[in-house]
Amino acid sequence: MGQVGFKLRRLLDWSNTVTYRPQGCEEGGLTALKFNYHAVPLNIIDNGHTIQVNYAPGSTLTVGEKIYTLKQFHFHHPSEEQVNGRDFPLVAHLVHADADGHLAVVAVLFEQGSANPLIDTLWKNIPAEKEKPQDIPSVSVQVQDLLPDEHGYFTYVGSLTTPPCSEGVSWFVLNSHATLSPQQVAAFAKIYPKNARPIQPTNGREILQSK
């Protein structure tokens, strides 16, 4: 494969900014991601850091023999990942946990293009007051609607980029990108002009790419 310049933002010390530029990614031997997501009633919160949707139990991500349950997903503007030096206007982080509490996050990068209907639904239901989750049983959401058609990915072990900044997180950054409209980007940016963390060092972490 060709060389890939991949940057990641990893929250350890908010005051430190270090750029990581590996010369390439090893490819092969990685299992496909298997998504088994179900529609759930909307539970949404503006937690003061981002817009977050808390997901009812029952939706899973399977990676090999490991099964993770989707807990929540949230957004950052701009993206907290870069590929070949390219920023993206938005990223969704889908946060999962297995039965032992190990975390896995799927990152979906968005580029400007067609509007995303699910994002339209979410933005219309952002609570007016911060830090107060809203249950909206009349609105059903299916997180699968955020995913691109292809599910190849980059993977590495890092940490959460928001408090509590847990270490040992398995990250899966999808190679393909979803789209959203300029208006949808602007609507989020009006609330959070920049809620992405600075680029952090990988400290020797290996980044792999699936076939």
**Is 97 within 8 Å of 108 (Cβ atoms)?**
no
Name the strand (E) or helix (H) holding 187: helix 182-191
The pairing of beta strand 51-54 with beta strand 153-159: unpaired
User: Which of 205, 156, 196, 160 has the alpha carbon at shortest distance from 12?
Assistant: 160
Q: Among this protein's residues, is 49 annotated catalytic?
A: yes
Nearest-5° Cα angle at 53, 48 to 59? 150
State the catalytic residue, choosing from 49, 102, 151, 177: 49
**Is 80 within 8 Å of 105 (Cβ atoms)?**
no
The string of DSSP letters for 126-174 reads: --SSTT--EEEEEEEE-GGGGS-S---EEEEEEE-SSTT--EEEEEEEE
Residue 122 CA to residue 112 CA, distance in Å, equals 17
Return the active site residues. 49
